[in-house]
Chain A
């Protein structure tokens, strides 16, 4: 049988999804009551009064709840998911606002009604009186601290963290050359096509709750609901249906709705569903990306970084339930494939009266890569060197792996790279994009009055973070192989890749393998799907479980066939003797034999009943064994794996309109061993598209009052097919030594270097420095005006080109 691991087979999910047979959250619970929310219209205000009188006579209204109605733990602030010693002033919101609102969109009143139309009618008629407070909207506002988001948080500083490896400031002071950069990266958002949603059913007779939610973590939502509603864990089931994209926003949990809807369902004894609409998603689901960065770097004549000192101001929005994961990742992953002589990074995570910030695909890495790559571009320009060359001299070399950066990563473990061959990746990329031939292309273009530029950006991505994931593999007496893992899926093709792994490990046809994810009824121990970890974590756990099943199958078959298990193999779904293919038992039969029976329910089961078994000298289930051809295994890595990649792009900027067009986009990507290259390519395409979106189109814009000005797809410019370039890519596969399958993770890769890359390419086309991303034609045109007025320094290489 051909090995499926590594082969680009079509996905098993697709037949269902292209036929309209997907089951997304809002497809469930037909007939359930609908919830809607009155959300704060002010960025910062005290709630003076909530008057629901006008809503009460609406036909179809079922219930209206405010904070006052919430009992017990539900009335307390939502959990701080990831505490950190540096997070000295954590703040989390209430499920429904209590006394104060801290961003536009914060839920204040929950309405339950016959359907969503009626629920919205009721929301319209509820009068909330607010006493507005001065809002803190930007990082600059927060730093100024003229006003505070939370009275008890001085200076609006949620967290302050310094990490240092070596004495960076001394190294910079002693370096032959130094540079300083001020950088700015704007706010964006995950924006999955399906918003969030929760559907809950209370079974009064059983005292149990079934909750469906569009989340990236089933087990942790379950734990949160059980805790908030004071229910035994085993009385709460969380089932994750098909999820229409997550990109990080759905790893945040429990969202207010995830505890409120179940609570109301129990209270009312009715099924209730809440489906987030697009406007709600904009103003109440998490955003990411905004940071200000100050970089000081010291380097030698070759462009080698001797000391790097980075200061980051990170906008965490109104609350910090997800801790300081994003700025921690920024500050550690900033290093990319490079080894600065000494590194110091300091960040302040600041409150603003805006939607909270939690990881969005890339999770702080795009910002870190932006800081580092802008810095390397600046060094190259300063020295008059090739940008690729300056990168190369700073690379960690393959023989230096594992490479310890002397820092603590987001999982609390040392930042140690496991593998990678950055120089090889760079060679591949330069070849792919035609790096060395670009200057002649530039000249040709210039002769036609066209302005083109090339850029390059590299990254390393810590993937597959712990603590663990598990997998369960069960061979049914029918021969069907049921696989489950607790983490969830939202379009990555996990059902296919996990089935590929199991089909190989058990030597069964992939059609027999059925995978379930994110269902606490089947698998109760899990962490979640984020940080490009699903393939690494669950992939390995499932492989280990399958290997146990295989061993058990050989053992049981060995007994049945009176052969040493060592002499047996599994081929095409049957255990057979290596030396005698006719001596064989199919796995279905082995599964039957694995479970000694008293009752035969079908023909096959007869083989396992008590009078069919001949050896009566041993107990039917030997000591230390368990019935059933199944196994559960866990994979818990010592630390993260590190995937890496490099992108290059050629852009053209219109000399008159300042319109920006990507002419070519090239990717070299190394995520270790690929389970399914087609799926990996899809992940890269999607990531790059989101990266391009974040670099050239999308930006969450608040006005000075904290009103979100573009809370619709009309004004939040998600790219269509007409805006996304074609992506050319090549793979490198450096196996990870950390896990049995040698895989790393590919989910976020595409998005990470894009802002840095396009800034590099645009400034190369324009001849002056780009320090703020995203960039629009209007922005670029204004930069040109300032450049023409002598307010911006030219790039050194541009003036060199002029004089050449």
Chain B
């Protein structure tokens, strides 16, 4: 039997360029996990329903089990390993999940974290309903979702606080900006 053709691809994942050779059918999820060793992205169904394998492709959440690795050539992929700051400081979403007990077994968690990371960038002040809609494509079998929703809202709060602090830190001293930022964060 013939050996399948391999495609040489370059994937940018979490800011790092990886060069690898894959068969065309290699799912992005498998490539990330088994070729690049980034096992934080989990595989729960391989038919696009559970959301465990969600990563960010050019900033947008996508199912990595519904993409071939060859399709991601030239894209910027972010996995759960890329959410924390380079020094290891957890992102607001990650911290909020720990703080609110938004995970139990942790298997679905990377999918929720990536989805919410993108969502909160677009919608920094979501309502509870908007959060539920945002995570409506991710299954969790452990938590009953209640604490995940709470974590998302808490993450939004942390992000707003951080933004306010940044503005304060960068403020020119007239006091008006930080005031406004603090008010926003408090809302």
With A11-B101, A242-B105, A491-B106: A686-B1 Cβ-Cβ less than 8 Å: no
* A 277-304 contacts with B by CB, 8 A: 277-278
Interchain CB contact under 8 A, A245 and B141: yes
A57 to B41, CA, bound (A): 33
How far, in Å, is A773 (CB) from chain B's closest CB?
19
- Are A13 and B106 also in contact (CB < 8 A) when A713-B50, A721-B132 are? yes
A804 within 8 A of B: no
Q: How many residues of A contact B (CB 8 A)?
A: 58
Q: Is B104 close to A, CB under 8 A?
A: yes
Chain B CB count within 10 A is highest, among A14, A20, A27, for: A20
The interface centre, meaning the residue of B49, B52, B101, B139 with most chain A CB atoms within 10 A of its CB, is B101
In the complex with contacts A10-B99, A193-B52, A244-B37 CB distance below 8 A: no
Chain B residues within 8 Å of A58, by CB: 1
Is the pair A194, B90 in contact by a Cβ cutoff of 8 Å?
A: no
Report the stretch among A575-583, A722-730, A786-794 that lies at the interface.
Answer: A722-730
Q: Is there a chain B Cβ closer than 8 Å to A678's Cβ?
A: yes
Docked CA distance A687–B104 (Å): 12
Partner of B39, one of A20, A59, A192, A243: A20
Pair A18/B98 contact, Cβ less than 8 Å: yes
Identify which of B37, B83, B109 contacts A17 (C-beta below 8 A): B109
Residue B80, interface by CB 8 Å:
yes
The reply on B74 being an interface residue by CB < 8 A is: no
Q: Quick check: A245 and B107 within 8 Å, CB to CB?
A: yes
In chain A, positions 1-40 with a C-beta closer than 8 Å to chain B are: 10-11, 13-15, 17-24, 26-27, 30
Residues of B within 8 A of A724 (CB): 144-146
| A520 proximal to B (CB < 8 A) | no
Q: Are B107 and A721 in contact, CB atoms less than 8 angstroms apart?
A: no
* Chain A binding surface SS class: loop
Once A686-B143, A689-B145 are accepted as A-B contacts, the answer to whether A720 and B136 lie under 8 Å apart by CB is yes
Question: Any chain A CB within 8 A of the CB of B126?
Answer: no
User: B95-138, CB under 8 A of A: which get 1 and which 0?
Assistant: 10111010111111110010000000000000000001101111
Asked if A193 and B79 make an inter-chain contact with CB atoms under 8 angstroms apart, the answer reads no
Closest to B94 in A: A18
CB-defined contacts of B60 to chain A, threshold 8 Å: none
B40 within 8 A of A: yes
The reply on A688 being an interface residue by CB < 8 A is yes
Q: How near does chain A come to B135, taking the closest CB pair, in angstroms?
A: 5
A11 to B100, CA, bound (A): 10
Please name all residues of chain A whose beta carbon is closer than 8 Å to the beta carbon of B49 when the two chains form the complex.
712-714
Residues of A within 8 A of B81 (CB): 19-20
With A18-B98, A18-B103: A712-B146 Cβ-Cβ less than 8 Å: no
Kindly identify which residue among A244, A690, A718 contacts B105, using a CB–CB cutoff of 8 Å: A244
CB distance B1 to A194 under 8 Å? no
Tell me if B10 counts as interface (CB < 8 A to partner A): no
Partner among A243, A244, A689 whose Cβ is within 8 Å of the Cβ of B42: A244
**B25: interface (CB < 8 Å):** yes
Chain B residue contacts of A21, Cβ below 8 A = 40
Interchain CB contact under 8 A, B149 and A20: no
Q: Specify the chain A residue showing the minimal Cβ separation from B148.
A: A721
Q: Whole-angstrom distance between the alpha carbons of A21 and B3 in the complex?
A: 34
> Number of B residues contacting the other chain (C-beta, 8 Å)?
60
CB-contact partner of A277 in B46, B90, B98, under 8 A: B46
Least CB separation from B132: chain A residue: A721
Which residues of B sit under 8 angstroms from A726, Cβ to Cβ?
146
CA distance A491 to B103 in the complex (A): 8
Given contacts A20-B81, A492-B104, are A117 and B94 in contact (CB under 8 A)?
no
B142 contacts A722, C-beta separation under 8 Å: no
In the complex, which of the residues A277, A685, A726 has the most CB atoms of chain B within 10 Å of its own CB atom? A685
Docked pose: A58 CA to B97 CA in angstroms: 46
The closest CB in chain B to the CB of A121 belongs to B1
Interface residues of B in 16-68 (CB under 8 A from A): 23, 25-26, 33-34, 37-47, 49-50, 52
Contact across chains for A278 and B46 when beta carbons are under 8 A apart: yes
Is B90's CB under 8 angstroms from A721's CB? no
Chain B residues with CB under 8 A of A734: none
Whether the pair A679, B34 counts as a contact (CB closer than 8 A) is no
CB-nearest residue of chain B relative to A192? B141
A662 to B90 CA separation, bound complex (whole angstroms):
36
A126 to chain B, nearest CB (A): 14
- Tell me how far the C-beta of A6 lies from the nearest C-beta in chain B, rounded to whole angstroms: 16
Besides A243-B105, A244-B106, 19 other A-B contacts (C-beta < 8 A)? A14-B97, A18-B94, A18-B103, A19-B83, A20-B40, A20-B79, A20-B110, A30-B37, A117-B23, A192-B141, A242-B106, A242-B107, A244-B42, A682-B144, A686-B142, A689-B143, A713-B49, A718-B139, A750-B144
Chain A residues near B (Cβ < 8 Å):
10-11, 13-15, 17-24, 26-27, 30, 57-59, 115, 117, 191-194, 242-245, 247, 277-278, 490-493, 678-679, 681-682, 684-690, 712-714, 718, 720-722, 724, 726-727, 750
Q: Which residues from chain B sit less than 8 Å from chain A, CB to CB? A: 1-3, 23, 25-26, 33-34, 37-47, 49-50, 52, 79-81, 83-84, 90, 94-95, 97-99, 101, 103-110, 113, 132-133, 135-149
Ranked 9 nearest A-B pairs via Cβ: A20-B40, A491-B105, A244-B107, A17-B106, A689-B144, A685-B144, A713-B49, A491-B104, A27-B39
7 contacts between A and B (CB under 8 A): A14-B103, A19-B80, A24-B42, A24-B107, A193-B107, A243-B105, A724-B146
